Amino acid sequence: MKKTAKFLGLVLVLAMVPLLLTGCGGGRERLMFGTGGTAGTYYSYGGVLAQYMKRYAGDKVTAVSTGASKVNLQSIQDGDFQLGFTQSDVMAYAWQGSRSFEKDGPTHDFRVLGGLYAETVQLITMNDKIDSVDDLMGKRVSIGEAGSGVYFNAVDVLGAAGITLDDIKPQYQSFEDSKESLKDGKIDAAFIVAGAPTTAITELATTNGVKIIPIDGELRDRIMADCPYYAPLHIPADTYPKQPDPIDTITVKATVVVSAYLDDDTVYDLTASIFDHKDEIAKENAKGLELSLENATENMAAPFHPGAARYYAEHGIEVDTDAADFDGSRTETENAGSVKYGVSAETKAAESAAAAETEAAAGSVTESE
């Protein structure tokens, strides 16, 4: 009898072990969230979002400083990150295998969670003789790290003004390095692409004074005609110290993307943790004021994750989850990669395992957002 009781007790303890392990620490997933450089908006905002994801989605989300858009997408492709920030234009390059992804090739291992806020193309200077993009001819201009999102934004703006990189003295610098170089007189102007107000520009405007050059009129029209992922943006007066007048420019969209292989329920909860709590988030970071379902779902150049699509559908908004709709032609590999709303991420992973794309080698790290 005693042996039987001991045996039954042992069985009961063993049966409880999975429950005890499940209860330890809580949360279903441990997720790495790629943000950006510490002087940019991605890093500070990403830290806030990670806290809301932990609190309301029940996942252990760790926001980490990275080289931003391109490196985040590549890290998701490599399986090192499960979600990350990216500029909407860089996301388009990744899906298409163009520009900064031309050498490495396209990546289709990510899906859109949602667009969050406008990433403003800001051209700044401390040179009194620079009042327009045309005045950059022959000047020392920081255009971001080579191959970064900022680099191609700068190329687009300069090209629309009829200026090539041979017409300027290009400097390939980070936000922080650009700020210091302007202060030291080592460069004449810098392109910075991030949510306004941007920390690096605010610090420079406070201590030294800075001028933001408008990107407007026919120049802006040419840029938007050639590159439809841009939109017009109005920087209100007093966004920065000593900025009494509003400034017109262009913008791309800061977007959160997730691994295509995350399960639907996890991504649904991550999406809800942001948009169900946008008012609370706005109290902690000004970028939260731009959170809206419309902004989250408009003008995306890659498919949405089914989990995010389910959340938007519950709020009356249909989004595209079919990878084939974002390609010029549909190959066997792309068929394997396509996701339709209602098909689980597990099914997609199984299909992709049978027809996986050849992964591109990891590219260079970029600092800019």
Going by the DSSP 8-state scheme, the letter that residue 356 receives in this structure is P
Cβ proximity of 75 and 34 under 8 Å: yes
Q: What confidence category does residue 328 fall into, taking pLDDT thresholds of 50, 70 and 90?
A: low
pLDDT value at 13 more than 70: no
Beta pairing class for 247-259 and 110-125: antiparallel
pLDDT value at 274 more than 80: yes
Please state, in angstroms and rounded to a whole number, the distance separating the CA atoms of residues 86 and 71.
9
Q: What confidence category does residue 311 fall into, taking pLDDT thresholds of 50, 70 and 90?
A: very high
Note the pLDDT tens digit of each residue in 73-103: 999 999 999 999 999 999 999 999 999 999 9
Q: Residue 290: its pLDDT value, please?
A: 96
Please state, in angstroms and rounded to a whole number, the distance separating the CA atoms of residues 149 and 113.
20
By C-alpha distance, which of 45, 107, 54, 30 is closest to 76? 107
pLDDT value at 131 more than 80: yes
Beta pairing class for 189-194 and 211-213: unpaired
Please state, in angstroms and rounded to a whole number, the distance separating the CA atoms of residues 157 and 224.
10
Residue with tokens 């971001």: 144
The neighbouring-strand residues paired with 203 are: none
Task: Determine which of 42-51, 275-284, 319-328 has the lowest per-residue pLDDT on average.
Answer: 319-328
Note the pLDDT tens digit of each residue in 146-200: 878 899 999 999 999 999 999 999 999 988 899 999 999 999 999 999 889 988 8
Q: Which amino acid is at 153?
A: N
3-class SS of residue 21: helix
More confident residue, 142 or 365: 142
Note the pLDDT tens digit of each residue in 194-245: 889 988 899 999 999 999 999 999 999 999 998 888 999 999 999 999 999 9
Q: Which amino acid is at 334?
A: E
Domains of the chain, each with CATH number or no CATH: 28-117+254-354 (3.40.190.10), 120-252 (3.40.190.10)
Q: Which two tokens stand for residue 207?
A: 């201590």
Please state, in angstroms and rounded to a whole number, the distance separating the CA atoms of residues 210 and 367.
22
DSSP codes of every residue in 260-299: TTS-HHHHHHHHHHHHTTHHHHHHH-GGGGG--HHHHHSS
Backbone dihedral region for residue 255 (phi beyond 0: left; psi -120 to 50: alpha; all else: beta): beta
| β strands within the chain, DSSP E | 30-34, 60-64, 83-87, 110-125, 140-142, 169-171, 189-194, 211-213, 231-235, 247-259
